[in-house]
C-alpha cells in the first residue's frame, strides 16, 4: 500500500507542478463523482447502485486523499 501511495503522490505532484489548472479540474471531477454517487447516480445521469456505488465512492476518496495538497510528505520521508 505504501508503494502505491508514494507512486501516486510523486506522479500527481509532478503533474500539479506542470499543469495546476488541469489538476484542479481532475480534483473537481473526482469530488463531483463522489457527491453524485452518494445519491445513487454518477454525475446525475448514470444510475449506480450496490458494489459499484461503494467502489466509486471509496476509490474517489482514496484518490482525492492521495492527490491532496500534502503529498510532499510521501515524497521525501527521510528529510523530516
pLDDT in tens, 56-80: 888 888 877 777 655 555 556 565 4
Q: Which helix (H) or strand (E) element contains residue 7? A: helix 2-18
Q: Determine the Cα–Cα distance for residues 46 and 8; give it in Å rounded to an integer.
A: 28
What is the count of structural domains for the chain?
1
Residue 67: its pLDDT value, please? Answer: 72
Q: How far apart are CA 71 and CA 77, in angstroms?
A: 11
Q: Are 60 and 37 in contact (CB under 8 A)?
A: yes
Within a domain: residue 14?
Answer: yes
* Contact (Cβ atoms closer than 8 angstroms) between residue 48 and residue 56: yes
Evaluate whether residue 25 is within a structural domain.
yes
pLDDT band at 4 (very low <50, low <70, confident <90, very high): confident
Domain range enclosing 62? 2-70
Q: Within 10 A of 4 (CB to CB), how many other CB atoms are there? A: 10
50 belongs to a structural domain: yes
Residue 78 lies in a domain: no
Residue 24 forms part of a structural domain:
yes
Residue 61 forms part of a structural domain: yes
Residue 35 lies in a domain: yes
Residue 48: inside a domain, yes or no?
Answer: yes
Amino acid at each position: 500500500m505504501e508503494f502505491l501511495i508514494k507512486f501516486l503522490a510523486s506522479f500527481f505532484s509532478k503533474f500539479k507542478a506542470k499543469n495546476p489548472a488541469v489538476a484542479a479540474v481532475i480534483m473537481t471531477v473526482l469530488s463531483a463523482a463522489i457527491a453524485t454517487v452518494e445519491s445513487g447516480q454518477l454525475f446525475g445521469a448514470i444510475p449506480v447502485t450496490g458494489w459499484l456505488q461503494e467502489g466509486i465512492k471509496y476509490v474517489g476518496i482514496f484518490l482525492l486523499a492521495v492527490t491532496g495538497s500534502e503529498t510532499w510528505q510521501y515524497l521525501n520521508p527521510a528529510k523530516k
